[in-house]
Structure 1
Amino acid sequence: MPQTIAFTKGHGTGNDFVIVPDEDGLLALADDQVAALCDRRFGIGADGILRVVRSRAIPEGADAAAAGAEWFMDYRNADGSPAEMCGNGIRVYLRYLLDSGLATLADTETILIGTRNGPLPMTHSDLGFEVDLGHFRIEPDEPLVRAKGLPVARPGLGVDVGNPHVVVALPSHDELEGLDLTYAPQLAPEPPRGANVEFVVPADPLVRDGVGMIRMRVFERGVGETLSCGTGVAAAALAVRHWAGAAAPDRWRVEVPGGVLGVRMVDGHVLLSGPATLVFSGEVALA
């Protein structure tokens, strides 16, 4: 008999996830099982899996447990591969914890959530929830990026926010909308761990009332194009801020196909804020 598991479907600005409760770490999902759950025609359909597990229950959660994070977000891409972090996923994860009664978070409180990029603090925000993604790094190399719909290869800026990104600036909204991201962009050289690739267009004017404004589309490694990518939004804002120079603001609004997210830079950290929605729950037989 196939094993039947409970699940909840949720999304953050259209970046969607299958949430699987496994509090004591007893469920071992193979890559092909993750891919089957995420399949949009034959499964539930999602950009990835969020396994809800106590930090002490799995080896990857040891550091998080020691830091006081009761819960660990075991995030897997739609192809089954593990990822260091997911900025939209962690907000959906927290929404699930709160709505299911597994955790509480008062308006003025902070909660730690364990990830493969370490335990990350989260709070309420005006957009929903805000997560401190920690320190970021602007990479020295500028790989060339080729994508279907781009007339010529463009240089990209490497940005590490716990997972790797390459951000490409485009001159117009027409060029952004003309990209065909059903094909994976090609990077030369290819980063060792691969990378999410963000294509951005600055608003005109770039800064309004002290807030930077950009539009973005993203191709996520192990997934494809998604309606939103939280860490990609942070990387895109950091890249445009880097290009804009010393006078650039520390607060940004980033428009993605699935909505709008906020980014702040504080004391060398980058913080991401946005909504999180739970859609439905059910049971499913594992492949």
Structure 2
Amino acid sequence: MTSTSAAAPHRLAFTKGHGTQNDFVLLTDPDGDLPLDAVLAARLCDRRAGVGADGVIRAVRSDALPEGAAALADDPAATWFMDYRNADGSLAEMCGNGVRVLVAHLLAEGLVEEAEVRSGAGLAVGTRAGVRYVRRVRGPEGQDWLAVDMGPWHLVDPVGAAERGADAEVGVHGLDGVRRPGLSVDVGNPHTVVALASAAELEAADLVRAPEVDPPPPHGTNVELVIVEDAVGRASTSGQPLGVIRMRVHERGSGETRSCGTGACAAALAVRSWAGGAAAGAPERWLVHVPGGTVAVRALEGQRVELAGPAVLLARGEVDLGLLQG
């Protein structure tokens, strides 16, 4: 079992993993002994002077964190908490790719049992956005995937969505300078989804710089650029309609990433809303192609959403904290 106490005090044990190339440094700290602050997280994520990642995930028991008390009150089975920080060190509410990779890490470390992700609703995990449930599923081509009940979602401005299909204007660097309509979707964290006209536009967008969202969301936002390949669900692997979209994302606090789980959910739900939702027969199931691979999104009853995709553990190692801070 790897833990933060398994190495000498000046060395920190870690695991590196990714979900559709959205990559993370994973730390095992059951008792919450590691002072993971914004500075340490940012240094670990530095791709030149650190380990390199889109974020840091600390696996800590819920009863060892003040934030974990709410998770345990919601579901006493949520004994593990995902303490997640973005690449710049800022705290994040949730990460759909990250929670899958965290569960793969917990399984590999022997901290949870495989039976827990194969029975009932799945393994309960505490996050700052609430308890999430992760279960084992098969991907669209028989892959061994993990699926996350991402919990409730909502349109930030339902009236604007119904009347205009948008509630914001977004300026994207690298395009024509024209602000495009954006739809705000909350999936436990904030997202603004923008539809583009072509694959050429999607490729031309400069997401090194953050898109400009007006009005500015109070806590920032992730911005998803999408093109719709099939909004009516002609594609199908199971006889059920299956929508298809392609997406790039600029993540709040991380910049452009190869994938974003909550962003994939937000993008699929926005396109489904533009297609008229359930009342118009828009698909419940969506494939979302991102630069790092493909994930599946499913609209659930009760205004909830599920995300499924791969979770890959790449390596284990130790980092010298003295050199990291030098």
TM-score, length-scaled by structure 2:
0.86
Residues 119-138 of structure 1: matches in 2 within 5 Å?
A: 119-127=131-139, 128-138=145-155
Helix, strand or coil at the partner of 1:241: helix
Q: Is the 8 A contact 2:210 2:250 kept in 1?
A: yes
Select between 54-63 and 199-208 the one with higher mean Cα deviation: 199-208
Residues 33-182 of structure 1: matches in 2 within 5 Å?
A: 33-66=40-73, 67=75, 68-106=77-115, 107-109=118-120, 110-127=122-139, 128-140=145-157, 142-151=167-176, 152-182=178-208
1:218 alignment counterpart: 249
2:217 alignment counterpart: 191
Match for residue 264 of structure 2 among 206, 218, 233: 233
2:35 alignment counterpart: 28
**What is the CA–CA distance in structure 2 between the aligned matches of 1:18 and 1:39, rounded to whole Å?**
11
Q: CA deviation at 1:206?
A: 4.9
Runs of 4+ in 1 over 6 A off after TM superposition: none
**What is the CA–CA distance in structure 1 between the aligned matches of 2:270 and 2:10, rounded to whole Å?**
45
Which string of whole-angstrom CA distances, capped at 9 and with x for unpartnered residues, describes residues 108-163 of structure 1? 34110000011111111113111111111012151111111221110100000000
Percent identity between the aligned chains? Answer: 55
Give the 3 Å change call, closer, same or farther, for CA 205–130 of structure 1 in structure 2: closer
**What is the CA–CA distance in structure 1 between the aligned matches of 2:283 and 2:199, rounded to whole Å?**
22
**What is the CA–CA distance in structure 2 between the aligned matches of 1:273 and 1:118, rounded to whole Å?**
18
Select between 64-73 and 203-212 the one with higher mean Cα deviation: 203-212
**What is the CA–CA distance in structure 1 between the aligned matches of 2:153 and 2:109, rounded to whole Å?**
32
**What is the CA–CA distance in structure 1 between the aligned matches of 2:205 and 2:225, rounded to whole Å?**
9
Alignment root-mean-square deviation, CA: 1.3
**What is the CA–CA distance in structure 2 between the aligned matches of 1:33 and 1:123, rounded to whole Å?**
31
Q: Is the 8 A contact 1:2 1:285 kept in 2?
A: no
Where structure 2 has 5 or more consecutive residues not aligned to the other structure, the ranges are 1-7, 140-144, 161-166
1:251 alignment counterpart: 285
Give the 3 Å change call, closer, same or farther, for CA 230–5 of structure 1 in structure 2: same
Q: CA deviation at 1:102?
A: 0.2
2:3 alignment counterpart: none
Which string of whole-angstrom CA distances, capped at 9 and with x for unpartnered residues, describes residues 39-90 of structure 1? 0011000000000100001100002223121100000000110000000000
Q: CA deviation at 1:2?
A: 7.3
Q: Is the 8 A contact 2:87 2:254 kept in 1?
A: yes
Tell me the amino acid that sits aligned with residue 257 of structure 1: P
**What is the CA–CA distance in structure 2 between the aligned matches of 1:36 and 1:87, rounded to whole Å?**
23
TM-score, length-scaled by structure 1:
0.97
**Corresponding pairs, count:** 287
Q: Is the 8 A contact 1:105 1:111 kept in 2?
A: no
